[in-house]
Amino acid sequence: MANHTLAEFIREEEESKANKLKRVSLAEALNLKPKGLLSSSSSAHDLRHIELEKEKENIASPIGVLEACMEEFHSHQVAKPKTSCPRARHWTNFFKLLKKKSFKRLGSLPHFSIPKIAKWKSKSSRESHVLSKLYSFNSTWVTFSLSELRNATNNYNSENIIGRGGFADVYKGCLPDGQLIAVKKLTKGNTDDNTVGFLSELGIIAHVDHPNTAKLVGCCVERDMQLVFELSTLGSLGSLLHGSDKNKLDWSKRYKIALGIADGLLYLHESCHRRIIHRDIKTDNILLTENFEPQICDFGLAKWLPEQWTHRNIPQFEGTFGYFAPEYFMHGTVDEKTDVYAFGVLLLEIITGRPAVDHLQQSVVIWAKPFLEANLTKDLVDPSLGDDYDRGQLGCVVIVTMLRSHNKYGRDSKTSRKIPLRRTYSEELLDAQEYNSTKYLRDLKRHQQIALGLEI
């Protein structure tokens, strides 16, 4: 080791990481399991368990990396007298608790990359610095105490609630230095799921840094698990587009938002240290700053996709109806296209002002299709915009939309996780197959016509 340069050291570590990342796909993994595991009686829970078992082996999972980094960063502080660093103690306690928990599913959490941590702890400080470089871990965020967040949110006053997701309440808050924050407090749902979701979201977002992604300020692991973000003062695109303040969204803002989301997605897919698939792109997960700059948020379902993988297979059906790509329905296949497809649905919402799925369960894609096929693009435009839009820009957005969004059915994005599915998977599958066999080619031809003629 003594003769190694830093570059050599990093290269070796990258190679070793790449080898460890050569994991087989879930389907291959399932073949290793006893026969019959995937029988018709296999539950989503079984599949989830298998997926978690697989992740456990992957030291580069968001949770594994998070734990390795947190333990490394705080290891020297833990050695100090207990009173010296209560924040580090919160993390240590948090991980200790996780390890002790007898929850069956927590037992399979991929947070015990112990050999890795032990290995790093025995290395020099220079080498442990390399750890953070290798993991591209942004350690600038703060570990808040519970009392700090209580103070910031007026003791979690219900008047401070600015958003409610499937798993969390989001509170507006203010730090002593005047910084406005949004505190995402995981309260709903199953504790195991919350823990997995919290660690996974934190592990992923700690690596993300782009003007069009939500800004993590810190987190709290004292009692409740909480994520703290910079406040996006205009709330979500969904609440603005489908709420009473719709008139704030003139065409130029909508166009700016569409471009910003595209930039954010491109960053996640191609420019970020790790290839990230968001998996839940929708208007509710796009926050808006006071300048209408869009920020992609809610990385609770996001996955890392190692370079050498073309895709991932996800056994558990997660996300929001109305935004699912056909191949996800058919094969559980996830890659960049999964997000790009959902982005197409989102673009259609921006143009039309309609939700992905309305209260009558009608999909905006199905609604829009006849207009697109008849080349009546102007009839797609949100009536609240009148004639006040740029036709050239609209043409571009429509073309992208036609390439991306053909999913036929869905549900209200806000309630999709909370109410049972009415459509069966097989119905969705048939739609997807139909789309794959005939419509794609027809739509592609149509796209080419519009691109050449741009008749709007």
* 319 is an interface residue for ligand ATP by CB under 6 A: no
Cα-Cα-Cα-Cα dihedral of 412, 415, 421, 427, to 10°?
20
| List 162, 296, 398, 402, residue binding ligand ATP (CB under 6 A) | 162
Per-residue x/- track, 113-152, ligand ATP (CB under 6 A): ----------------------------------------
| The token pair that represents 24 in the structure block | 């087989």
Kindly state the smallest distance separating residue 131's Cβ from ligand ATP, in Å.
29
Binding to ligand ATP by residue 324, rule CB under 6 A?
no
Of the chain, the end-to-end C-alpha distance in Å amounts to 66
Q: Which of residues 62-91 bind ligand ATP (CB under 6 A)?
A: none
235 near ligand ATP, judged by CB under 6 A = yes
153 part of the interface to ligand ATP, by CB under 6 A: no
Q: How far is CA 423 from the centre of its chain?
A: 24
Catalytic, 193? Answer no
Residue among 327, 303, 309 at smallest CA distance from 404: 327
204 close to 297: Cβ distance less than 8 angstroms: no
Smallest distance from ligand ATP to CB 241, Å: 12
Q: Report the distance separating Cα 65 and Cα 58, nearest Å.
A: 9
Residue from 199, 214, 276, 350 in contact with ligand ATP (CB under 6 A): 214
Which is closer to ligand ATP, CB of 234 or CB of 402? 234
Counting beta carbons within 10 angstroms of the beta carbon of residue 388, is it exposed (0 to 12), middle (13 to 18) or buried (19 or more)? exposed
Q: Which of residues 381-420 bind ligand ATP (CB under 6 A)?
A: 417
Could you tell me whether strands 333-334 and 312-313 are parallel, antiparallel, or unpaired per DSSP bridges?
A: antiparallel
Closest CA to 162 of 213, 108, 102, 238: 238
Tell me whether residue 293 or residue 427 sits nearer to ligand ATP (CB atom).
293
Contact, 407 vs 324, CB < 8 A? yes
- Does 239 sit near ligand ATP (CB under 6 A)? yes
Nearest to 400 by CA among 266, 306, 297, 272: 266
- 377 part of the interface to ligand ATP, by CB under 6 A: no
DSSP-derived letter for residue 207 is T
Near ligand ATP by CB under 6 A: residue from 148, 192, 222, 284? 284
Residue 297, both tokens: 């948020």
* CA pair distance 451, 66, nearest whole angstrom: 46
| Active-site residue, from 280, 298, 335, 431 | 280
Give least dist CB 441 to ligand ATP, A: 34
For ligand ATP, the closer of residues 120 and 229 by Cβ is 229
Question: CB-wise, 289 or 375, nearer to ligand ATP?
Answer: 289
Which of residues 235 and 260 has its CB atom nearest to ligand ATP in the complex? 235
Residue 126 to residues 68, 119, 339, 401, 404, Cα–Cα distance (Å): 16, 14, 38, 49, 47
| 185 labeled part of a ligand binding site | yes
Place of tokens 């969004």: 405
Binding-site member from 52, 60, 206, 287 for ligand ATP (CB under 6 A): 287
Give the β-pairing of 216-220 and 142-143.
parallel
Which of 131/218 has CB closer to ligand ATP? 218
Listed ranges 282-290, 335-343, 426-434, 447-455: which one lies at the site for ligand ATP (CB under 6 A): 282-290
Residue span binding ligand ATP (CB under 6 A) among the ranges 150-158, 242-250, 293-301, 307-315? 293-301
DSSP string covering 61-100, please? Answer: SHHHHHHHHHHHHHHHHHTS-GGG-HHHHHHHHHHHHHHH
**Candidate list 47, 88, 297, 325; residue touching ligand ATP; CB under 6 A:** 297
For 58, 165, 207, the CA distances from 94, given in Å and listed in that order, are 21, 24, 21
Interface residues with ligand ATP (CB under 6 A)? 162-163, 165-168, 170, 182, 184, 214, 229, 231-232, 235-236, 239, 284-285, 287, 297-298, 300, 417
Q: Which residues are catalytic?
A: 280
Q: Which residues are annotated as a binding site?
A: 185
Q: Which residues are annotated as a binding site for ATP?
A: 185
